[in-house]
Amino acid sequence: MTDLEFVAMQNSTSVRSPGLPLAARLVRPAFAALSVLAPALAASVAERVFLTAPRHRAPEHETAALAGARRTIVQVGGSPVSVWTWGHGPVVLLVHGWGGRGAQLARFVEPLVASGCSVVTFDAPGHGASPEPRSSIVAFLTAIQAIDRTLGPVRGVVAHSIGTVAAARALYEGLGADAAVFIAPPADLVLQAHTILEALGFGRRARELMQERIERRLGLAWSALDVRGYAPAMRAPLLVVHDRDDAEVPWQDGAIIARIWPGAVFSTTGGLGHRRILRDPCVVRGVTAFVAERVLSGASACGREEGTVSAVA
């Protein structure tokens, strides 16, 4: 039985609840009480929590990696987004995940540049060196599209975790990449969001109201960001890499996406988890080979098959 045959037998909605830090456990009772007493107010609080990405100090190896790059600022919806570029050639864009930074994917830079590509990464709005206080997957998407217009065209994309959702939507909306790599991609974003908020103590009605608030704010239904809705129409060559021991996004999610995306290649790792997979030498070599071969040849039919999936808004 292959990995994908195994996944077809599994419950596709499985999501792992992350362990809560102490601060979250302390406020959980308050969120639960507020959800009962004033669900609309709880929804407002949940929206703020949900759209605020955690920020962490960048380790020295990330800072060192950025030192050799050309830094520019790209305006995204009136907000400055920090962008770094290495090398010359067809552009490969590296997209980090929620609460991450572009430099987390720095291990891919040197081999891709050595292969003849230009590598671009960025800190999404509300992340790292980009100062916006709030963020969203739509903000990631808008940043990808702005970089494609100003520094592109983007010919390849390597994305991690939540960044894969924005990258997939960008491809659906016309990003002309010859190769895409999704590392630890979530398949059911709505379920994952509600699971996390439930773990924080927010009740069902508060979560539903929060989703409605965010959809009004972004002008987009959450269903429009569900890659499962349009993956069958996609034509960009895709490599999905997922670790069986990922404690944040289940391995089954990556396998599901690979199963429904035509021609996708699925690679399983073990013992690397959700973030260390970005630094594994074997993963870096495999991703580089997949991207460089297709980007430098430019022979693939990219984008999506027209007329098979209607836009969801």
Q: In the chain, pLDDT over 70 holds for what percent of residues?
A: 88
Placement of tokens 């975790």 in the chain: 161
pLDDT at 20: 62
- Cα(300)–Cα(239) distance, integer angstroms: 14
Mean pLDDT along residues 50-69:
88
pLDDT at 77: 83
Q: HSE of 75 in the Cβ direction (CA atoms, 13 Å)?
A: 2
- Cα(76)–Cα(63) distance, integer angstroms: 23
Residue 3 has pLDDT above 60, yes or no: no
Domain parsing of the chain, residue ranges: 20-50+189-223, 68-188+226-300
Residue 153 φ/ψ, nearest 5 degrees: -75, 145
pLDDT at 223: 87
Mean pLDDT along residues 142-164:
96
Residue 274 has pLDDT above 60, yes or no: yes
Placement of tokens 């010359």 in the chain: 88
- Cα(182)–Cα(258) distance, integer angstroms: 9
- The structure's pTM equals 0.85
Mean pLDDT along residues 42-65:
88
pLDDT at 128: 84
- DSSP-assigned letters across all residues of 259-300: HHSTT-EEEEE-S-TTTGGGG-HHHHHHHHHHHHHHHHH--S
Give the residue ranges of DSSP H helices in the chain: 3-8, 22-37, 39-50, 60-67, 109-114, 137-151, 162-172, 189-199, 204-218, 251-260, 281-297
CATH topology for 68-188+226-300? Rossmann fold (3.40.50)
Mean pLDDT along residues 205-226:
91
pLDDT in tens, 232-257: 999 999 999 999 999 999 999 999 99
Per-residue pLDDT band for 55 (boundaries 50, 70, 90) equals confident
Residue 269 φ/ψ, nearest 5 degrees: -120, 175
CB 85 within 8 A of CB 111: no
- Cα(27)–Cα(63) distance, integer angstroms: 33
Per-residue pLDDT band for 308 (boundaries 50, 70, 90) equals very low
More confident residue, 172 or 195: 172
Lowest mean pLDDT among 5-9, 93-97, 211-215, 264-268: 5-9
Per-residue pLDDT band for 19 (boundaries 50, 70, 90) equals low
The edge-to-edge listing of strands for the beta sheet with 179-183 is: 70-76, 79-86, 118-122, 91-95, 154-160, 179-183, 238-243, 265-269
Placement of tokens 């540049």 in the chain: 113
